């Protein structure tokens, strides 16, 4: 699924163009508190649990600061109770006012969220059982998730890794806004990554698993790489994939998107997806993009 960043009106004054206005939301227990702490370290002016109805007025105050505050992050979540329902109207007001903003949606699997609540002995903000609360919260947040500029799955991230993800996403040495692409390999048997923007299935490629001499080798080995890349199906797939991305990525950049996650999946996430993901990251790097490759499932049995 391609997620589009909300784009403000065609006209914006110079202060708007300089300001970063970030709205952080997502599931309870997915890491919003840690996110706001990390963003403060990155120079953002942060406000936690602001009632959504106050967002337009807050944005006007920031504009009136005449550029003294250029990076703003707001945490808006289900803790606002009935006030949370006003978020849609508040975002529409920002759009109408010509204020550009991004939405960072933090997610995690139900199993991980339940475990985190149990470890902290906290109740879910919606009450009832923790699992029922998570499911209801996920249902209510779905429209906001669909509109998010970036979705970050924190299920498998340590606190340090999460902070690094945020730093990579929102701190650039040259201060420019550019598109960073994460290319992730994964195994379908372990589920599709929650934070993927584009997903490509390479299970149709010849499988090294069925070659006895290759089965135990990692996808990064020269033998497996050669086996996968020399196949006619791989050559044709890469040609078409590169052609499509050469069209899509400039469109995402023009839309104001700063991060994209491309997920490449095979059955177990150890051979074909690893080879294709590494090759794609090299191609994107050579094309001038900041590209990083991650292998989610290579260590799983």
Which tens digit of pLDDT belongs to each residue from 164-181? 888 877 765 444 446 789
In sequence order, what are the residues at sequence separation of 6 or more whose Cβ sits closer than 8 angstroms to the Cβ of residue 138? 27, 110
Tokens of 222: 């020269």
When pLDDT is cut at 50, 70 and 90, the band that residue 9 belongs to is very low
Percent of the chain clearing pLDDT 90 (strictly above): 47
What tokens does 132 get? Answer: 């029922």
User: In the structure, what pLDDT confidence band is assigned to residue 239 with cuts at 50, 70 and 90?
Assistant: very high
Work out the end-to-end distance of the chain between its first and last CA atoms, rounded to an integer number of angstroms: 28
**In the structure encoding, which two tokens stand for residue 210, read together?**
């069925």
Domains along the chain?
A: 14-170 (3.40.50.300), 180-295 (no CATH)
Q: What's this model's pTM, rounded to 2 decimal places?
A: 0.60
**Residues listed for the chain:** 301
Contact, 203 vs 265, CB < 8 A? yes
Q: Which residue has the tokens 């902070």?
A: 163
Q: Describe the crossing of helices 130-146 and 110-120 by its angle, rounded to 10 degrees.
A: 130
């Amino acid at each position: 699924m391609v997620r589009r960043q909300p784009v403000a009106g065609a006209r914006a004054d110079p202060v708007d163009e300089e300001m970063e206005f970030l709205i952080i939301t997502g599931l309870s227990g997915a890491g919003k508190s840690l996110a706001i702490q990390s963003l403060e370290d990155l120079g953002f002016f942060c406000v936690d649990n602001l009632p959504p109805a106050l967002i337009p007025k807050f944005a006007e105050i920031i504009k009136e600061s005449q550029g003294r505050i250029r990076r703003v992050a707001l945490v808006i979540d289900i803790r606002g109770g009935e006030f949370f329902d006003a978020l849609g109207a508040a975002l529409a007001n920002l759009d109408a006012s010509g204020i550009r903003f991004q939405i960072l949606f933090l997610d995690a699997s139900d199993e991980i969220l339940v475990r985190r609540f149990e470890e902290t002995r906290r109740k879910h903000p919606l009450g009832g059982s923790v699992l029922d609360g998570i499911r209801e919260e996920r249902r209510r947040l779905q429209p906001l998730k669909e509109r998010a500029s970036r979705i970050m799955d924190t299920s498998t991230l340590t606190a340090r890794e999460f902070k690094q993800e945020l730093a990579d996403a929102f701190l650039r040495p040259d201060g420019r806004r550019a598109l960073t692409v994460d290319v992730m390999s994964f195994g379908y048997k372990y589920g599709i990554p929650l934070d993927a923007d584009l997903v490509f299935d390479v299970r149709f490629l010849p499988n090294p698993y069925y070659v006895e001499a290759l089965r135990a080798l990692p996808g990064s080995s020269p033998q497996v790489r050669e086996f996968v890349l020399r196949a006619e199906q791989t050559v044709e797939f890469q040609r078409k994939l590169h052609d499509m991305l050469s069209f899509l990525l400039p469109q995402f950049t023009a839309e104001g998107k700063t991060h994209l996650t491309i997920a490449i999946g095979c059955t177990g996430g150890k051979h074909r997806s690893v080879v294709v993901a590494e090759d794609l990251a090299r191609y994107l790097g050579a094309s001038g993009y900041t590209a990083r490759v991650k292998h989610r499932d290579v260590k799983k049995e």
